[in-house]
């Protein structure tokens, strides 16, 4: 059993899925955060008989996955006011969480699977009082939007329980939590201002939720502000040189060369290669305009009739997407239905196009689509006398590919959103951690792109841009800077990969439909970001009556490797039907317990209604939000 580490006379630390801090007064105590709840068994060793309250710095599961025990024992729970609903109304959160076409990339999926009863709110700038102790509540958004830091005098020292705002001098526990909106630097910016406020609070010691207590707060905070600012500089970018043309007044198509057409009013931009016989291949085909993308996220057919007129197109034979994002593929089902178009897609993302509901990623297409031809990595293929090659191109997202082709003597590369233009030249399209992002992704893809020596990039949002290999050195340089910035920010003893990968343990299907009394096969992906081998232990945490077979898995994963394992869930016949019921997987890597790192959602259906469902049937993964 873990034991308590004494920090001062009445202040103790218990290492669990997060650091749990114990403040003692005689045989009574309050706790800051709670982890799995294992701390309760250790309290007797310091003479504590009763816990009078548990205060939370934020809502992530590693802070509170054991809170059900507190409700059972009648121990009051106090939570940040801004995150109260993420403790006591989580069923509603899960029911309403957008899964498809989702551009909200904050880390709120680390929310409890089951509600707990909350007794007190920790409101910004208020004071929490307990037996003579006063804790000031400082709003410190960053790691989450609603995070708070609690500052007070304990044993003659001013301490700050700072949650996951800082984990060590210059370090954060997780970088991916610092992005809330798509492509934004919002959480990063908020962290810098929260750290600045904390610096002005002039505390003697910082007590983080991950990492060790920090004895020289000013220097540690200054170092982190510097490191965060460095990342901010790499990822913030200058705006586009021109805004997209207005749909109503501008021509939609531009002839780039004899056989190549560009439509820059659509979001994303798309391209047509047209033969002398009037056969066309489209590269991407998404929403009609920014206003159709925006909040609407609805595809209405556009531009095809016009293309037929201006470019004498007779048939839309093939469409090849650059990556799986809805803004690049949302029109493909319509092409297939209305024009008999075939979809050819790289193997790295073809399954996402066919089963978007099986994944938890940003920007998933709302409608699933049939992939007619899966293009293998590096495959060369021909169409209408043109020779193509396609290569996996991680960066903007892991699930992307560059497609190379020579048209009218021009060497073209379809680069999707990996490269976008800015006032100062080409820039990288990211990072977006919820697209699945790797440290060296951009570097790998841009190096391969430079080898091809393209003369023109067909980009997703910056139209067709002429380039030379030298021009591409700039985004490559940015990609290297980005990797350095991550390394500086993350803890030395832990691999950077864990800090930028919100899904190093993931279940497939993420959302499933199952009849009460039925069963569901889960495929679980485990990615070991460490260089050396590690044992992954996975334990299922399920709603009442559900069973997992096996209910825990122990598996060795080689350094840098990704492995799959499987688990079967069984549902009781008497289960009340319900939508998006969450279950969790508790994850330990080596001797480090991450806690309930992964989750999945199940729609449990009335068996009678499933029998009537002549469509895709039980356990399908096409359910819509």
Residues of this chain that interact with Zn ion (CB under 5 A) are: 60, 164, 268, 325, 327, 417, 460
CB of 126 to Zn ion, least distance (A): 22
CB of 18 to Zn ion, least distance (A): 7
3-state secondary structure of 24: strand
Smaller CB separation from Zn ion, 211 or 518: 211
Q: Is 363 exposed, middle or buried (0-12, 13-18, 19+ CB in 10 A)?
A: buried
Those residues with Cβ within 8 angstroms of residue 349's Cβ, 6 or more apart along the chain or in another chain? 321, 323, 324, 399, 400, 401
Smaller CB separation from Zn ion, 137 or 362: 362
Which H/E stretch holds residue 317?
strand 315-320
Residue with the shortest CB distance to Zn ion: 60
CB of 463 to Zn ion, least distance (A): 13
CB of 144 to Zn ion, least distance (A): 6
CB of 89 to Zn ion, least distance (A): 19
435 contacts 182 by C-beta, under 8 angstroms:
no
Q: What are phi and psi of 492, to 5 degrees?
A: -65, -40
Cα distances from 269 to residues 183, 203, 299, 334, 602, in angstroms, run 18, 52, 14, 17, 36
3-state secondary structure of 214: strand
Smaller CB separation from Zn ion, 164 or 317: 164
CB of 94 to Zn ion, least distance (A): 18
3-state secondary structure of 116: coil
Smaller CB separation from Zn ion, 217 or 416: 416
CB of 608 to Zn ion, least distance (A): 41
What gap in Å lies between CA 463 and CA 269, rounded to an integer? 6
CB of 13 to Zn ion, least distance (A): 17
Smaller CB separation from Zn ion, 325 or 580: 325
CB of 576 to Zn ion, least distance (A): 31
CB of 116 to Zn ion, least distance (A): 17
Token representation of residue 64? 């509170």
**Packing angle, helices 473-489 and 441-452, rounded to 10:** 170
Give the residue from 73, 410, 101 showing the smallest Cα distance to 257: 410
CB of 511 to Zn ion, least distance (A): 22
Smaller CB separation from Zn ion, 19 or 575: 19
Residues 475, 480, 485: CA angle, nearest 5 degrees: 120
Smaller CB separation from Zn ion, 107 or 443: 107
One-character DSSP codes across 401-445: EEEEEEETTEEEEEEETSEEEETTEEEE----GGG---TTHHHHH
Cα distances from 394 to residues 401, 437, 439, 447, 605, in angstroms, run 7, 8, 10, 11, 38
What gap in Å lies between CA 280 and CA 297, rounded to an integer? 26
Residues 176, 181, 184: CA angle, nearest 5 degrees: 75
CB of 194 to Zn ion, least distance (A): 14
What gap in Å lies between CA 472 and CA 449, rounded to an integer? 9
Smaller CB separation from Zn ion, 165 or 623: 165
The number of residues in the chain equals 625
Smaller CB separation from Zn ion, 520 or 598: 598
3-state secondary structure of 319: strand
472 contacts 433 by C-beta, under 8 angstroms:
no
From start to end of 33-179, where are the E strands?
Answer: 50-55, 77-80, 120-122, 127-130, 133-139, 148-154, 157-163
Smaller CB separation from Zn ion, 86 or 512: 86
Smaller CB separation from Zn ion, 183 or 280: 183
Smaller CB separation from Zn ion, 430 or 518: 430
């Amino acid at each position: 059993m873990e034991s308590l580490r004494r920090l001062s006379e009445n202040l103790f630390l218990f290492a669990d899925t997060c650091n749990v801090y114990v403040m003692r007064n005689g045989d009574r105590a309050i706790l800051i955060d709670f982890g799995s709840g294992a701390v309760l068994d250790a309290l007797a060793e310091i003479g504590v008989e009763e816990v009078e309250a548990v205060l939370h710095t934020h809502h992530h599961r590693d802070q509170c996955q054991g809170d059900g025990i507190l409700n059972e024992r009648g121990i009051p729970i106090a939570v940040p006011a801004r995150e109260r609903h993420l403790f006591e109304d989580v069923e509603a959160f899960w029911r309403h969480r957008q899964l498809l076409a989702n551009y909200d990339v904050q880390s709120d999926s680390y929310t409890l699977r089951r509600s707990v009863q909350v007794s007190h709110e920790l409101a910004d700038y208020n004071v929490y009082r307990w037996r003579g102790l006063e804790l000031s509540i400082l709003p410190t958004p960053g790691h989450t939007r609603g995070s708070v830091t609690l500052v007070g005098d304990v044993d003659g020292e001013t301490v700050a329980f700072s949650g996951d705002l800082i984990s060590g001098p210059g370090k954060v526990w997780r970088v991916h939590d610092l992005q809330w909106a798509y492509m934004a630097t919002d959480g990063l910016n908020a962290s810098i201002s929260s750290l600045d406020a904390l610096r002005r609070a002039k505390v003697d010691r910082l007590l983080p939720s991950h990492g060790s207590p920090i004895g020289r707060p000013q220097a540690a905070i200054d170092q982190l502000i510097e490191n965060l600012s460095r990342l901010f500089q790499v990822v913030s970018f200058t705006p586009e040189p021109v805004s997209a043309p207005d749909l109503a007044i501008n021509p939609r198509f531009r002839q780039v060369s004899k056989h190549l057409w560009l439509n820059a009013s659509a979001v994303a931009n798309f391209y047509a290669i047209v033969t002398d016989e009037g056969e066309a291949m489209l590269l991407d085909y998404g929403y009609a305009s920014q206003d159709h993308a925006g909040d609407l996220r609805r595809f209405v057919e556009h531009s095809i009739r016009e293309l037929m007129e201006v470019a004498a197109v007779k048939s839309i034979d093939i469409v090849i997407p650059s990556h799986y994002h809805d803004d690049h593929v949302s029109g493909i089902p319509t092409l297939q239905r209305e024009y008999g178009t075939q979809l050819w897609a790289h193997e790295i993302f073809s399954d996402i196009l066919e089963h978007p509901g099986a994944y938890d990623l940003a920007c998933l297409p709302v409608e699933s689509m049939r992939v007619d031809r899966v293009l293998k990595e590096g495959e060369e293929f021909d169409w209408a006398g043109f020779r193509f090659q396609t290569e996996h191109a991680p960066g903007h997202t892991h699930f992307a590919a560059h497609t190379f082709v020579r048209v009218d003597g021009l060497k073209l590369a379809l680069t999707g959103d990996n490269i976008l233009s800015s006032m100062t030249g080409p820039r990288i399209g990211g990072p977006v951690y919820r697209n699945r992002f790797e440290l060296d992704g951009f570097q790998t893809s841009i190096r391969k792109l430079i080898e091809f020596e393209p003369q023109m990039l067909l980009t997703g949002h910056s139209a067709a841009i002429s380039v030379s290999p030298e021009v591409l050195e700039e985004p490559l340089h940015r990609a290297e800077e980005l990797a350095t910035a991550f390394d500086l920010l993350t803890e030395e003893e832990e691999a950077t990969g864990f800090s930028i990968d919100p899904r190093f343990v993931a279940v497939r299907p993420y959302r499933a439909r199952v009849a009460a009394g039925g069963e569901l096969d889960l495929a679980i992906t485990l990615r070991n970001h460490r260089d050396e081998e590690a044992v992954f232990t996975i334990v299922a945490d399920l709603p009442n009556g559900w069973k997992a077979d096996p209910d825990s898995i122990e598996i060795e994963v080689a350094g840098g490797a990704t492995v799959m394992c499987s688990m079967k869930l069984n549902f009781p016949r008497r289960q009340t039907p319900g939508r998006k019921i969450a279950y969790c997987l508790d994850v330990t890597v080596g001797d480090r317990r991450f806690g309930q790192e992964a989750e999945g959602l199940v729609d449990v259906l009335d068996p009678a209604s499933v029998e009537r469902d002549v469509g895709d049937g039980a356990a399908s993964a096409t359910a819509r939000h």
